Amino acid sequence: MRSRSREPGRRCLLLRPAGGPPGSRWLSGAFGLAPLVVDGEAEALAAIDREPLAAILVAHSAGPAAVASLVAWAGKQQPDVPVVVLGAAGTVQEAVDALHQGADDYLAPPFDAATLLARLRRLAARPATSPGGPPDGTAFTALVGSSPAIRRVLTAIDKISRYKTNVLVLGESGTGKELIARALHARGLRRQQLFVPINCATLGRELLENELFGHEKGAFTGANERKKGLFEHADGGTLFLDEIAEMDPSTQARLLRVLERNQFRRVGGTVKVKVDLSVIAATNRDLEEAIAAGKFREDLYYRLKVVTLHVPPLRERKEDIPALIDAFIADFNQRNDGKIRGISPPAMKLVMEYDWPGNVRELKNAVESAAILASAETIEAEGFSDLGRRRAAAGEAVRAAPPRPLAAGGLVSVPVGTSLADAERELIAATLERYRNRRDAARVLGLGLRTLYTKLRLYRRGGTGGGSAGTA
């Protein structure tokens, strides 16, 4: 995002395809601006050179090249002027594409002056970033692609964002859960208010509660004045709670009360503070498993998961990897004035064969590292040589793992005379060795997940005779 001027110019430039929609009458109501409508990219570039502007609007149908060109030229000639794409279909994919091409905002049809005015005011109110910083669109790079898996995510964002509701985002580490949360907010009904993120795993209970709820003056030593918490800062907007599964149980109880009553007390306070906001929570853990283990409140789980959105791992959307690599290279070139054009076929083959346990984050880091070390405009296979070493190390780890206590065919041998309790314990231990995911193990055993956890707790306490399940 480029730095923003607080005083817009007098005219609003609109680039549309030759003779095509949208019209410009609705522009005259925004700021009382005089619309300047041009029908070609060359005319638009000349207009940016010629006079100060309040905003630059580009019809989506003008094409991604026109958007990227105007963003780059405006960044040089009028860096304080926002570039906004006027959508055609109003889909999430259009919005993501526009932001990734460098636009400052995306306006879905139907268009009106009041909405444009509100958007431009919001852009003007954003804090400035350092020159040469990445455009807003880089935050949505993880959503690049056309695979069925990512299309389902985009469709879900489109549906969910129509409502003011709580959302639970589930997915492995590195899949882009926070980016999904930001996309939900940017597309949603609260988009003109703040998006406030916090990672619940980085703070202890007392610090986290202080950050979330704030405190009153004198609440504790060093509390010399009242402090507003993140719930108050996010009032009207969206609070994003990342790694929600790491939250302390007592803090979970306080969070539940806020979600139930839309009010809370600051630390050390007696006055109830009312808020109206949406909460998006994310985790890479199985919350139902955490509930069964007694580590997460079931009532809070159901309050958070009004809607659940599953983010696919990269190994389930490998057809998106070429598009993701193109996006990462473009971002690298923009930030570093780079000249990388792409990667070679052998390099692409190596990348496509790797499973990417770190998902999109790992891919982005690998591409950036390869781009830095590239000796030409094309990244060769040597740039990803580390992937081969990682695959080899993973294979060695599998081969070095201790043998599982299962005979050929997946059988468990239990001597005659073994008690039913001990036989059950051996069977559970062997099943957990075969099925590392405890939900799958419970399903295979025909047990409820809570029942399985109850038995494991009993085994750890020595509730039955000896056996390997005691360390399961």
**pLDDT (tens digit, 9 = 90+) per residue, 222-262?**
888 898 999 999 999 999 999 999 999 999 999 999 999 99
What is the third-level CATH fold of 315-399? Answer: Helicase, Ruva Protein; domain 3 (1.10.8)
* pTM score, whole prediction: 0.63
Residue pair 67/58 in contact (Cβ under 8 Å)? The answer is: yes
Q: What is the largest CA-CA distance in the chain?
A: 94
Does residue 110 have a cis bond before it (omega within 30 degrees)?
A: yes
pLDDT at 130: 32
Residue 170: count other Cβ atoms within 10 Å of its Cβ.
18
Q: Cα–Cα distance between 135 and 333 in angstroms, integer?
A: 13
pLDDT at 387: 81
pLDDT at 134: 33
Phi, psi (5° rounding) for residue 242?
Answer: -85, 150
Helix (H, G, I), strand (E, B) or coil at 53: strand
Tokens 């740039």: give the residue: 383
Q: What region does 296 belong to: left with phi over 0, alpha with psi -120 to 50, or beta?
A: beta
Q: How far is CA 165 from CA 305, 308, 383, 412, 465, in A?
A: 9, 11, 44, 48, 50
What is the third-level CATH fold of 11-133? Answer: Rossmann fold (3.40.50)
Selection from 393, 394, 455, 447 nearest residue 421 by Cα: 455
pLDDT at 386: 82
pLDDT at 287: 92
Q: Cα–Cα distance between 71 and 63 in angstroms, integer?
A: 13
- CATH tag, 148-310: 3.40.50.300
pLDDT at 321: 94
The CA-to-CA distance between both ends of the chain, in Å, stands at: 50
In 157-257, the DSSP E strands lie at 167-170, 195-199, 214-215, 227-228, 238-242
pLDDT at 421: 81
Q: Which residues touch 458 (CB under 8 Å, ≥6 apart)?
A: 464
* Domains 11-133 and 315-399 in one fold: no
Q: Cα–Cα distance between 365 and 143 in angstroms, integer?
A: 16
Q: What region does 446 belong to: left with phi over 0, alpha with psi -120 to 50, or beta?
A: left
Q: Which residues touch 421 (CB under 8 Å, ≥6 apart)?
A: 464, 465
Cα-based angle 200, 202, 203 (whole degrees, multiple of 5):
80
Q: Which helix (H) or strand (E) holds 274?
A: strand 272-274
Q: Residue-wise pLDDT tens for the chain (472 aa)? A: 344 333 445 677 887 654 444 555 666 555 556 778 887 888 888 888 888 887 888 888 777 777 777 877 887 788 778 888 888 776 766 776 676 666 777 887 777 777 777 777 766 655 443 333 333 444 456 678 889 999 899 889 888 988 899 999 999 999 999 989 998 998 888 888 889 999 999 888 898 999 999 999 998 888 888 989 999 999 999 999 999 999 999 999 999 999 999 999 999 999 999 999 999 999 999 898 899 889 999 999 999 999 999 999 999 999 999 999 998 998 888 788 888 999 999 999 999 989 898 999 999 999 999 999 898 999 999 999 888 676 666 555 445 544 444 444 567 777 887 888 888 888 888 888 777 677 778 888 888 777 887 788 777 766 654 444 433 4
Q: Cα–Cα distance between 143 and 130 in angstroms, integer?
A: 25
Q: Which amino acid, 13? A: L
pLDDT at 345: 94
Residue pair 157/194 in contact (Cβ under 8 Å)? The answer is: no
Q: Give the side-chain half-sphere CA count within 13 A for 123.
A: 29
